[in-house]
Structure 1
């Protein structure tokens, strides 16, 4: 049977195209084809009777005003590969099509389907299958995956009473937002004082994409029917010179063959101004076949039809010209939706196939009201932390020092007792009992702060006890700093503080116990049985977790935190090998977009960013640099502090740069992994690490961008650097000596 003669039925709002298989004998088929123009906007129809079309491979009945239930006999069409029943009025449950193993593409978006989402769709169909159930009325069940799956779209798929829940796989909101700017299909770009978020996800036929950091995403439905599978292009790029203002917004655009919804979450309720930026950058305006193309689609904002049969070229007065649609919208459930729907009008074949559908270049959303609540909240939180970190530090290190310091009559507990640190208070007797009087057998590690012990409370809870050295003045500062910082922060990838003990001369912090110690111990520890055998999925998970923790510190918490001492020994691993950032003794609070020079450089050699180590220039990009070192350690399984394989390399970065120049990044991968690792992910992690090591801090990526790249949601642009800048070992040793003169190594196992 030829590709052209395969049986199918396709009905849309503008065109009825039918190929019906008529049985003639046991070995052959006779085919009848017809084309009819049919306006289906007038009335409602029942599902057509096609149960005898057993050879059906493609069934497309989209936007046909079909009512009723999906017929059970669909499950008998064993040759069916593609089923598109989107944009109808179908009700009831989805029949069991689980035995139709050839059925790889299912579009049921925008119907009134109810009941539970079928188990065969959720559990038995993996990413090889394309399933879109968005915009329906299903009931909640426990089958939904915890994370958004690449080819299963459950956006707005649940009943009206759960309308505010877009999908269970989206993370909860942590704070309100008042604006959003997206460069659709393009990189992050700054226009004037406005930063447009990058939107470079390649998209797919049933995609629910979500940017956890910026709290926005999109739901995409459909593929281009007239091009071969796997060649769908959901992002288009302009190939001519653009002369309009802010041309950077119109260089790229996102395409959608059927339905595209952008949604902004966590917006404060109220009125907003929405600007939609369009420019026709695909069809051409010339006297040729390329000029006959037309693009027409509908635009909805908050479910209201704002534009019907919108034609970009007509409204802009030509191709490669901008047109900006400005509308008002009201947010009631902290979510704003902008939907673009292609209804079959325009063209599908000119100037080339797969260019029809909706197109959007950029989106701007601004509140019509000031955000006083957000400003006050940040002020209150920041003031609280500053009081803890600064005022308490002054009291302890000032007043008590003047009164005889750490042997005076007034105890630390008396000073700290009146402050609400949101942590528990332990007696020193409890700590001694839990650690068996600080038995050396319970010792987990030791660093500049002091020693860390495992403890067990009376209720059986395991804890990690960090005890300050009684003679450590530096430890007093770090104790107060860490107590203030970590008690005000909470995230799955930050270590949890249970409480403190400040009796007499004792300074003790009590943390959750981490079963697998630190990343340093697990990767290259030589005691107690040596390092763990960390497989590649675990290393990938650890790397992403560290990046998410730093994203929270830099971009998502109420106040910006620079950790200053990110290293393998400060990454703890729980029972399931989930990473948690620890040791906030050197952390600093920083104002948004504010950099500063610090007179006290502190950190660990081998992990410190060069601009901070040499000039005291501190921003969150110093943490990004340190993260890059840890990422290289995860890939190679080697410690940057002990890396001296031969005289040609002075550090892991030096080795990575030489390997990059030789075009052999794979030589960096830990040989203990053997062949059991994802080559694409390993190369990606190395390239991201090199991006984090850009000599210019301004050119290093943000940690939210790092998360997106690690998870494969955005493209990694390779950075090529000259290895010679790290190859002069004499200069390296000179720098090391310079570091030693004014830095503090806080190496410890928390």
Structure 2
């Protein structure tokens, strides 16, 4: 990491230097050939002398590193000597220039290192430092030199839109305005293709006019970096604007896996204030040092796939903050100590992952068991019949991998034969027209997950009992016409709970044609809280028609529903999404807060507070019968759609633009408790009687529900005094 972290600064030093000793000038010496040599006169600065240094990330000594030898190395080219850094000479040669680092933590590291080198060398030189959003500026006014840092880890545009954060892999229009005014630009790129979940800083990918939830990450990265490269090559006069590209930044040092490291773990590591130590897939050996017991702040310790020996140490129980612990695939002996149960925060404290154990055991308490499961295989979240939400399944990988969600998972095995593609596609989109499919079910069959050999879905932590498993199929690749596509045949087997339920299954033949959905229902007993559905290609059917590599099992959607009434928790129905257990004044406060959240557009789902028009979109969704699209997608199918509909409809009533159409508090309580049926909302909720422009906005969203507009309403939507017809409280509430 060190050679990368100072390479740009070395280059800048050479560009500013008078000459390079022994080489005759910067153009005749290959500065990239050489070695790191020990030089006790280094380092060039002490982090303690830089008041602006972000010590949490870049001060290794303050973070607990005990050794200091790594600070005393410098780069020595083979054929010349680099001049020692001279801050005054450097600033003089860059006088009147602007230099910008662009990228992630690597560029931030270099920007801070350069400013620290200059400041500690010229401590009396005045400087101005400021930060606005992701742009930081450090200026030495006496020299009229500015050093900037722009946090842009993707090097392409990411824009906030109504659907979420969209990464435009073919655009740098938002960023180039900053770059093109610089005299020197130093870029690096983040390894963003490896990050998912909360570490993923985008929600959708835009390519041309198409928007994707995800795509092959390396393909997306290649397209994004080519977009940046095209801009770099199109600059009017590159000689006036120097550009350095350093490549992809390395991962942060707490993950040392797959680095060909060997020998024993140094005992001195125990004196560091480590929170994570990931050493998997190396060649470490010996026993785990007893001193590691001092690492009481560890949250992540993974040492799998090494050659450690000895007993599983008891001192692991002292790691009370541990969340991930993997000691598998070593030569450790003995049983797991019983005191490991004290590691309350750990979600993985076994030597073997649960997916490798018989029946995929569930460790959740009975109150957390699931009883319904809906998966849109290969597709996005979709709501059918206004209340059943099928969860998205858009993981693009599938060659040999295991993917898990909160209450389901799948494993896929195999590579498609002879298709000459660098990356196989394990999600397919319909090429044949869908037939006999209602509009509400259409999105279940537009896409499907496929596999060349084996595809297995797991329902996790289900309550034991008999269930109806519904498998949704539609042949969306092959056709039933006179074209070459019609010659293909897809044949595979289906097992549920290890029992063969479909032998030599041909979707097209069973459904009576291509593009026609067919649902196969099975009664299945779940006895160990796990459901296993296995799709297996047994070598039958075609493999090269209409294209090579088109074969194997294909599944559109899966639905699992109990053939029994799910148990209650504490005498009440098990609620996952929203539970209201309030009374008296607390209920009044809860309902008022709910109304405020609604007016601010904060109820989650596809309507965000940033849209500025969620109030109107909500009524359009209600009129279209799609009100459940307001429910946060993170809940999946694990919520009561009936309760959600009651709550959302009451919220709509509470925020009605016409005061006379709002319920009283007693009416609202009665509806929430289920004693009164929710009234049918008026199709036009009083908008036209208040302001014709509001009606125009509503009509706009009826025709264009995914767009936003900005329109003056010439006054507030409703004054504070008309908040509701509720029983008057002492305190007034003002809506934003």
Shorter-chain TM-score range: 0.3 to 0.5
State the TM-score, normalizing by the size of structure 2: 0.37
State the TM-score, normalizing by the size of structure 1: 0.36
